[in-house]
């Protein structure tokens, strides 16, 4: 994985920070990841890709961050974190609306909801392909379910 993804209690968004180092099988750079996000932002996403907002020098109050999360941020993305005492600054991050990952959704539903989710997954892939977008990894965990039941690529 190339991103560290976290949320804060009571907040309907997720924060995505590019890790300082990637797993050996991920042969890419942080610049490549940013370029991919920029390409997605500029492309017609046919309503099947998460809407992402990009921020630089994003300030968070440390009181909102658990010690475990702070440790993880420093372990995985220390080059992007500046500790100001009561606050931290994250040099670069993306924010998206929080969704239920499709793999978790599929474990929690059954019957018609399960069939609808699988059909939505297929529709998402088909519509993305029609727009000349290929989601690199078509794993369920790379898709999310919106609050309206729509499946989108994360």
Give 105-154 pLDDT, tens digit per residue: 999 999 999 999 999 999 999 999 988 888 778 899 999 999 999 999 98
pTM, full prediction: 0.85
Identify the band that residue 44 occupies on the pLDDT scale cut at 50, 70 and 90: low
pLDDT in tens, 63-76: 999 999 999 999 99
pLDDT in tens, 76-89: 999 999 999 999 99
Active-site option among 12, 20, 44, 51: 51
Indicate the Cα dihedral angle 141, 39, 29, 13, nearest 10°.
-50
Going along the chain, which residue ranges are E strands? Answer: 3-7, 13-18, 52-61, 81-83, 87-97, 100-101, 143-145, 151-153
3 state SS for 86-109: CEEEEEEEEEEECCEEHHHHHHHC
d(CA 86, CA 73): 16
Residue 18 has pLDDT above 80, yes or no: yes
Cα 141–Cα 114–Cα 11 angle in degrees, nearest 5: 50
Domain residue extents for the chain: 1-98, 100-154
* Diameter over CA atoms, the chain: 50
Identify the band that residue 97 occupies on the pLDDT scale cut at 50, 70 and 90: very high
12: annotated active-site residue: no
Residue 25 has pLDDT above 90, yes or no: no
């Amino acid at each position: 994985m190339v991103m560290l993804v976290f949320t804060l209690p009571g907040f309907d968004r997720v924060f995505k920070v590019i890790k300082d180092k990637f797993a050996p099988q991920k042969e890419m750079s942080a610049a490549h990841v940013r370029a991919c996000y920029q390409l997605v932002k500029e492309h017609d996403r046919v309503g099947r890709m998460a809407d992402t907002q990009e921020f630089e020098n994003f300030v968070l109050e440390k009181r909102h961050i658990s010690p475990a999360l702070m440790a993880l941020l420093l372990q995985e993305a220390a080059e992007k974190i500046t500790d100001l005492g009561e606050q931290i600054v994250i040099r670069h991050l993306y924010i998206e609306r929080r969704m239920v990952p499709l793999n978790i959704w599929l474990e929690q539903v059954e019957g018609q909801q399960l069939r609808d989710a699988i059909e939505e997954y297929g529709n998402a892939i088909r519509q993305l392909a029609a727009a000349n977008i290929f989601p690199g990894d078509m794993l369920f965990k790379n898709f999310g379910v919106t609050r309206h039941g729509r499946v989108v690529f994360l």
